[in-house]
Amino acid sequence: MNILVIGSGGREHALLWALQKSRQLKLFCAPGNAGTAQIAECVRVSATDVYNLAQFAEEKRIDLTVVGSEAPLAAGIVDEFERRNLAIAGPRRDAARLESSKAFSKDFMARNNIPTARYRIADSLDEAQTILSSGEFGGFDSSVVIKADGLAAGKGVVVARSRSEALTAANEIMEGGLVGADAARRIVIEEALDGREASLLLFSDGKDYALMPSARDHKRVGENDTGPNTGGMGAITDASVLDEETLRRVVRDVVEPTLEGARAEGFPFRGILFIGLMLTSDGPRVLEYNVRFGDPEAQAILVRLESDLVNIFEAVAHGGLSRVPVRWFDSSSACVVLASRGYPAKPETGATIEGLEHAAQHEGVRIFHAGTTRSQSGEWLTAGGRVLGITATAQTLELALNRCYEAAKDIHWDGMHYRRDIGKFGRQMS
């Protein structure tokens, strides 16, 4: 069986690792990285080059394609593959709007009575200034969240602590080049929610769904949730993230209304749905939807998968998810991201990585590559901001984290940094 995974990060390395656990496959990854090259043939085609990816899938007789990252989904890769009768697991472009347009997703939540923060949409900087000056989101010193409408690679959300910070953020997004022009045409202004964040992911075939273990990630670069947002500095899965009562409430008030709303509005959701939550004193509120695995949540989640991931993705692509067992190991997991100096603003690359082989020998540990390459002599080199995801499973979260950090001690390169407080549950604002 030939399978193509699209993307180049730690998430895609984890997907390839999980796919090949239970059977012999011919794996391809476009474009991939040095880590994925150990288990798959890397293909020099951009993840957003929809036409040439479809051409490659036809030429290589790919039986199933799995999309890791969001940009290809927003570009309509599933629509193109389906037009050519190529099997692919992921949402079509219309369903991908749940992530590719913050304004669309907020309006969708409002239409379907899904609990979320109060919001307004601004189509210009003048309109944003009017909304922020109206007092609708509190006084001058009240916090407010400014979000770019489109995909912004983690750079499009600012939690402003005052009106002046909010106006600055709106200006930087809409006119200052903080994000790409397409993402900056509109902004969403939201009330800031206080509580603990959690993530609930699920597989869906457009009709049925299967939940994954609940997760929590750590977005800010610095310990104690300080510094700028990143793509993610670490993640955990553990029963404590969502207790049984809260999980039932999220399923009732969020998961099922989201899937039912998507069907009713003509875009039944097929693929992986990621629901970002804030657990407030008034109950769970949806922060955002993603339409694919998070990164590094994918690493922490997939190491706990007991079932055959190929069977699951085939059911997502073709239907029949209710007939496929989706089982998870009764354990906890953690992923700690090792990053380059300068990340997230201007990461340094080209440093020699030492200690990988020794770190991989720790019990329960898997190392997923995100930004690596290899020299002609075979040395591992850094090639991005987030370089490695040190991932571990154990019977308790504390032990899983200990395993991650013990393995991380064996790895070194000039400028390497990572958070040492992954798994700590302070209150957050978003």
> 296-345 pLDDT, tens per residue?
999 999 999 999 999 999 999 999 999 999 999 999 999 999 999 999 99
Six token digits for residue 100: 């590719």
What confidence tens digit (pLDDT) does each residue in 121-156 have?
999 999 999 999 898 888 788 899 999 999 987 778
Which CATH number belongs to the domain containing residue 52 in this structure? Answer: 3.40.50.20
Residue 110 lies in a domain: no
Residue 59 lies in a domain: yes
In a 3-state reduction of DSSP, which class is residue 110? Answer: helix
- Same domain? For 224 and 274 the reply is yes
- Same domain? For 352 and 311 the reply is no
Residue 430 lies in a domain: no
Taking every pair of C-alpha atoms in the chain, what is the biggest distance, in angstroms?
62
Judge whether 161 and 143 are in contact, CB under 8 Å.
Answer: yes
Which CATH number belongs to the domain containing residue 182 in this structure? Answer: 3.30.1490.20
Listing DSSP states for 329-369 in one string gives: -SSEEEEEEEE-TTTTTS----PEEB-HHHHTTSTTEEEEE
- Same domain? For 303 and 415 the reply is no
The residue out of 286, 306, 329 marking a domain boundary is: 329
- Kindly tell me the burial class for residue 133, based on how many C-beta atoms sit within 10 Å of its own C-beta (0-12, 13-18, 19 or more): exposed
Say whether pLDDT at 425 is over 90: no
- Same domain? For 287 and 314 the reply is yes
Contacts of 248 (CB under 8 A, 6+ apart): none
The pLDDT score that the predictor gives to residue 24 is 85
Residue 100 lies in a domain: no
Full domain range(s) for residue 160:
118-191
Average pLDDT across the chain, whole number = 95
- Same domain? For 236 and 313 the reply is yes
Residue 415 lies in a domain: yes
- Same domain? For 308 and 287 the reply is yes
- Same domain? For 51 and 177 the reply is no
The pLDDT score that the predictor gives to residue 229 is 84
* Whole-angstrom distance, CA of residue 391 vs CA of residue 408: 10
Which CATH number belongs to the domain containing residue 336 in this structure? Answer: 3.90.600.10
Which CATH number belongs to the domain containing residue 234 in this structure? Answer: 3.30.470.20
- Same domain? For 185 and 208 the reply is no
Six token digits for residue 152: 């912004």
Say whether pLDDT at 426 is over 80: no
Cα torsion 200, 203, 208, 213: sign: negative
Listing DSSP states for 398-424 in one string gives: HHHHHHHHHHHTT-B-TT-B--S-TT-
Judge whether 202 and 211 are in contact, CB under 8 Å.
Answer: yes
Contacts of 58 (CB under 8 A, 6+ apart): 84, 86
Residue 96 lies in a domain: no
The residue out of 191, 217, 241 marking a domain boundary is: 191
The pLDDT score that the predictor gives to residue 364 is 97
- Same domain? For 83 and 35 the reply is yes
Residue 108 lies in a domain: no
- Same domain? For 275 and 318 the reply is yes
- Same domain? For 245 and 323 the reply is yes
What confidence tens digit (pLDDT) does each residue in 181-205 have?
777 789 999 999 999 999 999 999 9
- Kindly tell me the burial class for residue 167, based on how many C-beta atoms sit within 10 Å of its own C-beta (0-12, 13-18, 19 or more): middle
- Kindly tell me the burial class for residue 379, based on how many C-beta atoms sit within 10 Å of its own C-beta (0-12, 13-18, 19 or more): exposed
Six token digits for residue 6: 């699209």
- Same domain? For 200 and 247 the reply is yes
* Whole-angstrom distance, CA of residue 143 vs CA of residue 148: 17
Measured in whole angstroms, how far is the alpha carbon of residue 169 from the centre of its chain?
23
The residue out of 301, 329, 357 marking a domain boundary is: 329
Residue 98 lies in a domain: no
Number of compact structural domains in the chain: 4
Measured in whole angstroms, how far is the alpha carbon of residue 214 from the centre of its chain?
13
